[in-house]
Amino acid sequence: MTLSISNLQAIVICDAVVDSCDAGATAASLRIYSGTPPTLADTALAGNTLLAQLAMSDPAFGAAVDANPNAIATASAITDDTAADATGTASFFRILDSNGVVRIQGTVGTSGAELILNSVAIQVGALVKVTSLTVTMPEG
């Protein structure tokens, strides 16, 4: 038999994951990178370029809700980066708590990704604005 969790449990787990972003004395940061994403969030970066860094709210996410059939948490307001650090194509993001610990890594796109931007083509010195950021925990 395959392990299965209830929707309620998926919501609890999703809340625990996003709440971990609030560890430390200040708000979490959202970092957007180019290049091949590391296999795991714990894997060190290798040849990736930091394109932009944005400040998240504290708390970083609202409470997880039932997304039938999954649990989903939506990020609270994220401050724009008014001057991108580098030019490149955004391919993944990491959320770091204020202690600098990587908590979440995900995909970037203009649709169909966890982090939605108006464009994945980022230019040095340009404005970087997040359209939406969600974390989903599957149930089943």
Is residue 130 a part of any domain in this protein?
yes
Is residue 42 a part of any domain in this protein?
yes
pLDDT in tens, the chain (140 residues): 788 999 999 999 999 999 999 999 999 999 999 999 999 999 999 999 999 999 999 999 999 999 989 999 999 999 999 999 999 999 999 999 999 999 999 999 999 999 999 999 999 999 999 999 999 999 98
- The pair of structure tokens assigned to 36 is 């091949």
The count of structural domains within the chain is: 1
The dihedral over CA atoms of 104, 116, 140, 63, expressed in degrees to the nearest 10, equals 70
Is residue 1 a part of any domain in this protein?
no
Is residue 41 a part of any domain in this protein?
yes
Is residue 107 a part of any domain in this protein?
yes
Q: Where in the sequence is the domain holding 55, given as residue range(s)?
A: 7-134
Is residue 78 a part of any domain in this protein?
yes
Query: What pLDDT score was predicted for residue 50?
Result: 98
Query: What pLDDT score was predicted for residue 2?
Result: 87
Half-sphere CA count of 89, side-chain side, radius 13 A: 6
Q: For residue 126, what are the contacts with CB-CB under 8 A and spacing of at least 6?
A: 83, 84
Q: For residue 135, what are the contacts with CB-CB under 8 A and spacing of at least 6?
A: 14, 17, 18, 61, 64, 72, 73, 104, 106, 114
